[in-house]
Amino acid sequence: TQVGAAEGLCIVLSTASMLLFLRALDRGGGVAWGLHGMTLFLALLSKESAVAMPGAMVLMAWLLRGRGLLGGLRAAIPSMLVVLSWLGLRAVILGSVVSVGDPVLAQFPVTSSIATAFAVIGAYDLQAIFLPLWLHPNPSVQEIPAAVGSGDPRVVLGLVSVTALVAGGALAWRRAPRVAFGLGFFGGTLLPVTNLIVPIGALAATRFLYLPLTGAVVAIAAGCARLDGPRGRLIAWGLAGWFLVVPGWLCVSEVGVWSDQGALFEVATERYPGAPQGWYQVGVSELERAAGGDPAAFARAGAAFDRAMECQIREIPGRPGIYHEDALEVVYQAAMNRASLAR
């Protein structure tokens, strides 16, 4: 998708900015610092998730070059200035630093919002990393039901995962600084898109993991490099085999699903038949086919819109009788399109 392509471009540019940062840190020179700033600014223009990169620069100077916290902060000043420039440009063009006018969890009580964010980590993000199968391209609270409290198993799994990440980084801080950097990079770049700190317009997406996985790869590679002997090589090859064969094969098997929007949401209706978004998008795709000269597509579009209207919309936890506006909007649009077909 176009949004996914922007995330991919952000990874390339962010990685380039980190490498140039290390070069500038080690050898100095205005050219290296200038290229670092340019690539970081372009990364920010491609996707907002690069806003976490100054934090990564602090960790790089601190952990990878031994400059300490204050030294890391000083070294990251050029990166911070780039981000501030980008924020200023964003405020001038969009009128606000934060452009999300309708956060996905805006209607939720605070406790339910936090619990749902952890539930997404436990139910969606972990699966996307270790077993990327049957994932929705743009899940909402219809596909990932909201969590009511901390007793939800998905919330518990999310809390355990975050705790393990923090504990792993703390344990590796002095013993294995490269591992600590990778874990810190993973957590620091994932945090802005979890709805835990800053409200965003989507509940979850596989593309949110593109940049954080760079840190995970660094942590795994650095950890394997510390292992000696046959046992270490066995663990390294086992991890490499797992991520190449299992998640890799599953990702390749999903390529056909993402061939076009129509095919993508047809599969979404099979995996989440009770969610209206997939049915609505299938109906829209069928209307496009009808406009292209397929008269039978009108009937298929009408059937898809009917299924969207039949879906049961979930109430917002803690607010009886209140339903999520995004889901209601999808059903409303489906009803309007169905009425147009009837005329």
At 277-289, the pLDDT tens digits run 889 988 998 898 8
Q: What's 192's DSSP letter?
A: G
Q: Considering Cα of 109, then 111, then 115, then 120, what sign does the dihedral take?
A: positive
Q: Which of 316, 318, 312 is nearest to 330 (CA)?
A: 312
Q: Supply the pLDDT for residue 62.
A: 94
Span of 96-110, 149-163, 222-236, 304-318 with lowest mean pLDDT: 96-110
Backbone angles phi, psi at 323, to 5 degrees: -115, 155
Q: Supply the pLDDT for residue 148.
A: 78
Measured CA to CA, the distance from residue 15 to residue 17 in angstroms comes to 5
Q: Give the mean pLDDT of 219-247.
A: 82
| pLDDT more than 70, % of the chain | 96
Q: Supply the pLDDT for residue 274.
A: 85
pLDDT exceeds 60 at position 101: no
Which is it for strands 319-323 and 315-316: parallel, antiparallel or unpaired? antiparallel
Q: Supply the pLDDT for residue 72.
A: 94
Q: Supply the pLDDT for residue 98.
A: 66
**222 compared with 259, residue with greater pLDDT:** 222
Measured CA to CA, the distance from residue 163 to residue 157 in angstroms comes to 10
The pLDDT-based confidence of 203 (bands split at 50, 70, 90) is confident
Which of helix, strand or coil describes residue 240? helix
Q: Which of 90, 87, 60 is nearest to 73 (CA)?
A: 60
Q: Which two tokens stand for residue 308?
A: 């969207």
Q: Which two tokens stand for residue 195?
A: 């709805």
The structure's pTM equals 0.85
309-314-315 Cα angle (round to 5): 125
Q: Give the mean pLDDT of 156-182.
A: 94
pLDDT exceeds 80 at position 219: yes
> Is 9 buried (19+), middle (13-18) or exposed (0-12) by CB count in 10 A?
middle
pLDDT exceeds 80 at position 198: no
Q: Supply the pLDDT for residue 70.
A: 94
Q: Which of 210, 204, 232, 199 is nearest to 101 (CA)?
A: 199
Q: Which two tokens stand for residue 233?
A: 């090589």
The pLDDT-based confidence of 265 (bands split at 50, 70, 90) is confident
The pLDDT-based confidence of 102 (bands split at 50, 70, 90) is low
pLDDT exceeds 70 at position 3: no
Q: Which of 164, 171, 172, 167 is nearest to 126 (CA)?
A: 164
Q: What's 198's DSSP letter?
A: S
